[in-house]
Amino acid sequence: MAFLPSFEFDDKILAQGAEISRKLDQLRVEKFPTEGQKTLRRFSMAEVAHYLGISPNNLKRLHLEKKGPEPFVVTGGRRFYSAEQMTELRDYLDKHGRSDSKKYVPYRKPGEKLQVIAVVNFKGGSGKTTTTAHLAQHLALTGHRVLTVDLDPQASLSALHGFQPELDKNPSLYDAIRYENPAPVEDVIRETNFPLLDIIPANLELQEYEYETPLAMQSPSQEGKRFFTRVARALDSVSERYDVVVVDCPPQLGYLTLSALSAATSVLITVHPQMLDLMSMSQFLLMLGNIMKSIKNAGAKVQLDWLRYLITRYEPTDIPQAQMVGFMQSMLAEEILKNPMLKSTAISDAGLTKQTLYEVERSNFNRDTYDRAIDS
């Protein structure tokens, strides 16, 4: 019998990890030539009208009357606006629009609290990060000032926004919530390619919080025992800059997730309609409920404005999935969002270039496939 040569495991995986990172960076620079920085496509007049909440005819009238920014004209006479121009149009409509009852700039009013939406699931592959990215970008496109926070050390949300943590050396929320010499949260916020959307990227250093918190809880200081306040305090220091914060929680019930949930005003739980996923979610809810009771007794805030479940990667023609959705609706009818996120090749194809549906060109896809995905 021939024996395979042995090798040093640590050297092997370090070499392979470095090679994968190098290739990923090469792909990023090829896709986004401007020093590897993501840019954003222009939006059609139909898309702009949709995001502004006006009719295409009204938008066309604004253009003909030379009101607002001048759109880009391409072959065939089609007109497109950049995301920055969309914001200019929104500001113009808010000042000069004919409707007194409609606000085109939906910033929160004085006295209204910052909305913090935590997107969670215990099981990987539920579409949690995809949901977070599309939710944050949609809110920004509809005129809200948004901060999205990547709390998952795997940094998939960061990658979707053009950050490659092992190469870019960006800070993470860990820098602002660590127990020794925390940095101002303003120092860890980065702009994205969406004008109204900022991000706090992630990196593996976030995992340090999971190791440091048990040690801090044993110290005479109360800081460790009140670990659940640290994310809320960090976000509170920049609350005037944003209307909504969307947090991508790690797929585990650790101190990061519990801290995010204690800061949340609302929780969105993603679930794939399969029996094993539902069983996993049941365990997640029971465990989470018991832990939240414990930290509530220690002074944590556990009151929410809403809790919703989003069915993800749903295939309507899959009979077992449809049955599972019906089963879930029989138990959680009021909390399950009516529109599921469909499983779509448009989403997976966009993900190949680390993009979302809002970034890719509709013309690159089957139009019906793209429209179904964007509507869901």
Tokens representing 248 are: 């991508």
In this predicted structure, the answer to whether residue 336 has a pLDDT above a threshold of 60 is yes
Looking at residue 125, its pLDDT comes to: 73
Task: Quote the pTM value.
Answer: 0.88
The band of 221, judged by pLDDT with boundaries at 50, 70 and 90, is confident
The band of 175, judged by pLDDT with boundaries at 50, 70 and 90, is very high
Chain segment 275-316, per-residue pLDDT in tens: 888 888 888 889 899 999 999 898 888 889 999 999 998 888
In this predicted structure, the answer to whether residue 339 has a pLDDT above a threshold of 70 is yes
CATH of domain 115-343: 3.40.50.300
- Bridge partners of 306, per DSSP, are 266
Other Cβ atoms less than 10 A from the Cβ of 23: the count is 10
Looking at residue 37, its pLDDT comes to: 72
Looking at residue 28, its pLDDT comes to: 62
Three-state DSSP string of the chain: CCCCCCCCHHHHHHHHHHHHHHHHHHHHHHHCCCCCCCCCCCEEHHHHHHHHCCCHHHHHHHHHCCCCCCCEECCCCCEEECHHHHHHHHHHHHHHCCCCCCCCCCCCCCCCCCEEEEEECCCCCCCHHHHHHHHHHHHHHCCCCEEEEECCCCCHHHHHCCCCHHHHCCCCCHHHHCCCCCCCHHHHCEECCCCCEEEECCCHHHHHHHHHHHHHHCCCCCCCCCHHHHHHHHHHCCHHHCCEEEEECCCCCCHHHHHHHHHCCEEEEEECCCHHHHHHHHHHHHHHHHHHHHHHHCCCCCCCCEEEEEECCECCCCHHHHHHHHHHHHHHCCCECCCCCECCHHHHHHHHCCCCCCCCCHHHCCHHHHHHHHHC
Tokens representing 324 are: 């599972």
- As a whole number, mean pLDDT of residues 336-359 equals 84
Q: Could you tell me which residue, 55 or 372, shows the higher pLDDT?
A: 55
What are the boundaries of each domain within the chain? 43-96, 115-343
- Span 43-96 CATH architecture: Orthogonal Bundle (1.10)
- As a whole number, mean pLDDT of residues 94-104 equals 73
Chain segment 104-128, per-residue pLDDT in tens: 999 999 899 999 999 998 777 778 9
Pick from 120, 116, 51, 146: nearest CA to 270: 120
Pick from 301, 113, 81: nearest CA to 195: 81
CB contact at 8 A, 184 and 237: yes
Q: Percent of the chain having pLDDT more than 70?
A: 89
Looking at residue 29, its pLDDT comes to: 64
39 vs 138: CA distance, rounded Å: 16
Looking at residue 21, its pLDDT comes to: 66
**Sheet containing 43-44: which strands, arranged edge to edge?**
43-44, 79-81, 72-73
In this predicted structure, the answer to whether residue 184 has a pLDDT above a threshold of 70 is yes
The length of the chain, given as a count of residues? 376
